[in-house]
Structure 1
Amino acid sequence: MQILDNVIADRGSKYAVSGGPCNREAEAKAMVEALRKSRKKFAKATHHSWALITADGPVKNDDGESGAGMVILRMLEREQLTGHLVVVTRWYGGKPLGGDRFRHVQDAVRIYLDQCAAAKAGQGG
Structure 2
Amino acid sequence: MIHLDRLGVVLSDRGSKYAVTGAKVTSRSDVDAALAELKSDKAYAKATHNTWAAMLPTGALKADDGESGAAMVILRMMERADLSDHVIIVTRWYGGKKLGGDRFRRVQDATRVYLDQLEAGN
Counterpart CA distance in 1 for 2:67 and 2:94 is 10
Kindly state the Cα deviation for residue 55 of structure 1 after the two structures are TM-superposed: 1.1
**1:123 maps to what in 2?**
none
Counterpart CA distance in 1 for 2:6 and 2:65 is 18
**1:24 maps to what in 2?**
27
Kindly state the Cα deviation for residue 13 of structure 1 after the two structures are TM-superposed: 0.3
Kindly state the Cα deviation for residue 25 of structure 1 after the two structures are TM-superposed: 1.7
Kindly state the Cα deviation for residue 24 of structure 1 after the two structures are TM-superposed: 1.2
Partner amino acid, structure 1, of 2:14: R
Counterpart CA distance in 1 for 2:118 and 2:65 is 24
Counterpart CA distance in 1 for 2:29 and 2:96 is 32
**1:13 maps to what in 2?**
16
Task: Return structure 1 stretches of 4+ with deviation > 3 angstroms.
Answer: none
Q: TM-score, normalised by structure 2?
A: 0.94
Residue 4 of structure 1 pairs with residue 17 of structure 2: no
Counterpart CA distance in 2 for 1:115 and 1:19 is 11
Q: How many residues are matched?
A: 119
Counterpart CA distance in 1 for 2:67 and 2:28 is 19
User: 5+ residue gaps in structure 2?
Assistant: none
Kindly state the Cα deviation for residue 86 of structure 1 after the two structures are TM-superposed: 0.4
Residue 35 of structure 1 pairs with residue 38 of structure 2: yes
**2:83 maps to what in 1?**
81
Counterpart CA distance in 1 for 2:24 and 2:91 is 18
**2:56 maps to what in 1?**
54
Kindly state the Cα deviation for residue 26 of structure 1 after the two structures are TM-superposed: 2.3
User: 5+ residue gaps in structure 1?
Assistant: 121-125
Residue identity over aligned pairs, in percent, reads 55
Counterpart CA distance in 1 for 2:75 and 2:88 is 9
